[in-house]
Every structure is written in structure tokens, then in C-alpha cells.
Amino acid sequence: MVQPEMKYFSTRGGKEELSFEDAVLTGLAPNGGLYIPTYIPELPVNWETNWANLSFPELSHAILSLFIPTSVIPSEDLASIINAAYGSFRSPLTTPIKQVGDKEYVLELWHGPTWAFKDVALQLLGELFQYFLERKNKGRTEGKEELTVVGATSGDTGSAAIYGLRSKASITIFILYPDGRVSPIQEAQMATVADENVYCVAVQDCDFDYCQGIVKTLFSDASFNAAHRLGAINSINWARILAQIVYYFSAYFQLPEDIRKEGKLQFVVPTGNFGDILAGWFAKKLGLPMQQLVVATNENDILERFFKTGRYERDDVVDQQNKIAETAVVNGSSDGQQAVSAVKATHSPAMDILLSSNFERLLYYLALETGDSEGTDEEKRAKAQETLNEWMVTLKRDGRVNLGEQVRKAAANDFWAERVSDDQTLEQIRKYYNLDRYGPYVVDPHTAVGLTAQERSANKAPLDTTWVTLSTAHPAKFLDAVELALSPSHYPQFDFRRDVLPDELKKLEGLEKRVYRVRGEQGVRELIEKVKAKSKEKVNTEKGSGSI
């Protein structure tokens, strides 16, 4: 059966359908929604046989082609984009698996240029941005289109985005992060990049959700967006989800054939903004054989609470109910409201969030699944968008929304969730360092959260289940947590610099940093406007010089 050409629409309503190119360049829909595909495609016949021996770039091409029509990107061009994106990865497998137990594996996603899983998506996104802009500007001498990329990071997104977009023509990138709340190595990776199109913006006196809120506000400001042609690199951008689907298939094909035939595979995903695990959900819906996906959260457990209760509510709202007199007001949260207690700072900071920005995509599909079964597909879609929009309005107004038992049960068909404390995180780092048969193996704190959730979930699953835990960052990026777990007093043989820190990261020490410190949304706006005005002035000066 021939499937219709793939388009993309907003989760929050409207009949407008965008091409893949426009969805990627737009990032966030004007109504605040996130773009999703008009349908989930079918895998080709004999995919399991035909894809089994493909390289990662070849596998990526096969999967991305299901979502990107050749009318948008010709097949040969797509192959070139993918090869350019993954040519700098250190592992020939791009995302290799490592066995850490009899039926336990870790999917190492940190073999890209910044040693974090986000390289997989952001190296591709950078190439896509460049491809689309070069095509739009071909033959133009004046009025060339430019893209102003604005993103927020709790650490790894920023450096991965910068490395994906540095020196790209017609692109300026601004990365926002909470001042003092990313690791020294993460800040060094961002701030030591000297390319003129890169701006590291440390927002003072805030948390990640506040930075993310600034980004969403700027994208929702129609006049500001139009004036500066904003582009999104956070996981709200559909291209990031699409890129991440690939490594679930890659992990599957790296497993022994007898394990694949058993069909009892479970993925465990350290989860903050829900993009990484949502890619796994899409892989499952495409037809990749797997059981439930395990959502591994730290003490910022909004997702774990939803999957157990059906209520999606921010920590600060819960705390306000329980101990409003004990908490201090923090200026801002991800939806513009005042947060009472903000996020809890943990050893796994990439998961320190109040709201999961990508969760909205899953909520749309849950609204569709649990909604009225009568009517045309178009009518069902409109009803799901209406329901989703009502949920998001309630969430923004009240900081919570009760989605009900029917929705929770529908979600439970595909997901299970576990909450992991800081103490358990450190204990798991020690456990894997002390492995006999498969160790020592040093993991970062986010991977440790995943491994703890896997261990706990294994007690509830069949004994012959095979587990793949996603390892999202190299341990070198989290010195404090790793050294706290493997302290010299208990592990005198362990030396972080010698045993963990790669030479590439050692070279960052002592390099000059370039950071722009601002306060609040207004400070970010003023910086972007100042930089863009200066850029236009430079272009006009060059034009004038050239005409003399």
C-alpha cells in the first residue's frame, strides 16, 4: 500500500500541515504546540532481514526516509547529510552496546564530539539547517535567509548544539543556561568555542525551566520570531526525535540473534524532557519488537508520579500544597508562573526539570487513543487536539492536570516508571565500578539512574527479559558525582583524571571562555537584538565597501 506524503501538524490544533523542512525550521508551532507526523509509517516488508547488517548511517537513511519525502530531500542528498553528521563519531558503530550482565546491556550514546547522547540528534540537525538554508539562498546576492537558533540547556544540549552549528553560514546560535548550574566541563565545552556565530548566555538567578520558559516565550512572540527567524534545537524540534529513533533499531540489531528472536526486550531510559524515550515509543509504534519502556527519573519525579497516579503536576505545586510557608519564591518557571520551590538540584542535573517539554507529544497520542472512536480521522485528530489544548491550558493555569485513570492505563501499556534518589545513584556508580566479569565500568550519574531503574524493574519482569539501558553521557562530564561515589578514602586506586577524563576534554583546561551574563527574559531579548543589529550593520558595511 502506497502511503501519502508525510506532513507535520501542531499538537494544539489547526488544520495547517507543514513539510518536513518547514517543521524543522519552525521548531515550535505558532500556537505553542509541537509538530508531529500526520501518521506513523509502516516498516517495509522484510525490514528485519534487510536492515540487519546496515551501518548506522545506512540504518539512519532507511528510517529517516520513512518520514522525509524525496520531494523535500532527495535520497542522495539525505545520505550525504547523514554521512556528514556522523563522520566525526569515535566509534565505528556510532552508538555501540556494551554487555554489563548476563542479559543486561548499556547503549553508549556518547561517542560523538561532545561526549553526550545529544550529539546523535544535533549533529544531524546542524546539517539539516545548513542544507535547507543553502538551498533557499542559492543564487541570491541580497536578502539571504538567516536563522537565529535559540535554545536552553542544563548542560549537554548546549555543547552538542554549538558543535553542530559552529561556523555554519547564515546561522547564529544563542544557548541559554542557568548561571552556575552546569558542570565546569559542560560550560567549558560551550564557552571555549571561539566561532563568531556562537553566543553562550548565562542567565542569572534561575533554573533550567526558567531558561526553557524564555525560549518558549520568544518562539511564541510572533513579531520577535518573524524579525529574527528563530530556529529550535531543543527536543521540541521534531528532527531531534526522528534522529533518536535510529539508535533503538541499532541497539536491537547489535544484540545476539537468539535474544532478538525471544522478543523479550526492554529499554530503560534516563528521562528529563521526555525526548529520548519518546523516540523509543515511536520505534515501538513503527514495529520494533520490545516490551514496555522504563522511564527512569531522579528526585524530580513528575513523570514517575504521572505513570502511577494519572496526575501531571509540577513539584513546586505539590510543595506549595504541603508546605507553602516553608518555601521561598523563585522568579519564573517553564510556563511563566511563579515557582514556589523550583527544581531539586541532584547529581543527575540533565533530569532536573519541573515540566517535561516533550511530554506533550505523547499526551496528544493518549488523547487520540482514549477519545471518541466515532468520526473520520480528521475529526478524531481535531478532537484530540482540542483535548490536549484543554489539558495544557489547565496545566499552565494551575500547575497541574488530572488526566484520569483511562489515560494513565493507556500510557501504562507502553511505559513503566521508577524514581531514583541521589544516594541510590551514587551506590549504582560504585556497583558498576566493582563489576567482576564485565568491569570495572565507570558510568555517569544519569546512566546510574537508568541502571538502578533497570535493576528494580527486573524484579517485576520475566526472568528471561533482556535489558538495554541508555547511557546518555560519558562519566568525564560529571566529575563531582563520580568522585563523590568513588571517593579516595574508599577507592584509593581510582584517579578521575587518569582513569576517566579523555585527552580531548583535558585540552579544554586553561582555554579562554566567552560568556554573556544576563538577567531574565528582557536581558536575553536585548542581547539577541544587539547581536543581530550588529550583524546587519556589518553586512551593510561590507556591501558599501564592495561597491566602491
Q: Which triple of cell numbers denotes residue 245?
A: 529513533
CB 113 within 8 A of CB 163: yes
**Which residues, at least 6 apart from 241, have a Cβ–Cβ distance to it below 8 Å?**
121, 235, 275, 278, 279, 282, 358, 361
Beta strands in 207-359 (DSSP E): 230-232, 265-270, 293-297, 311-313
Q: Which three cell numbers stand for residue 359?
A: 511530554
Q: Is the omega angle on the peptide bond into residue 440 within 30 degrees of 0, that is, cis?
A: yes
Structural element, H or E, at residue 282:
helix 275-286
- Choice among 15, 103, 118, 284 that is catalytic: 118
Contact 12, 32 (CB under 8 A): yes
Residues 300/353, Cβ–Cβ less than 8 Å: yes
**Pairs from 187-191 (Cβ < 8 Å, separation ≥ 24):** 187/513, 187/515, 188/508, 188/509, 188/511, 188/513, 189/114, 189/158, 189/159, 189/162, 189/163, 189/505, 189/508, 190/153, 190/158, 190/159, 190/162, 191/513, 191/514, 191/515
- List, in order, residues 6 or more apart from 225 with CB less than 8 Å away: 218, 219
Which residue in the block uniquely carries the three cell numbers 533554573?
207
In degrees, rounded to 5, the angle at the alpha carbon of residue 7 between the alpha carbons of residues 236 and 39 is: 85
Q: How far apart are CA 524 and CA 4, in angstroms?
A: 42
Q: Which residues contact 493 (CB under 8 A, 6 or more apart)?
A: none
Catalytic residue at 513?
no
Distance CA 228, CA 527 (A): 12
Rounded to a whole number, what is the distance in angstroms from the first to the last CA of the chain?
62
User: 8-10 and 171-178: which strand pairing?
Assistant: unpaired
Residues 433, 366: Cα–Cα separation, whole Å: 40
**CB of 343 within 8 A of CB of 213?**
no
Nearest to 52 by CA among 205, 335, 347, 260: 260
**Closest Cα to residue 85, out of 112, 51, 65, 108?**
112
Angle between helical axes of 520-547 and 208-220 (0-180°, round to 10): 50
Neighbour tally for 520: CB within 10 Å: 15
Q: Distance (Å, rounded) from C-alpha 258 to C-alpha 277?
A: 25
**How many Cβ atoms sit within 10 Å of the Cβ of residue 11?**
24
Catalytic residues: 118
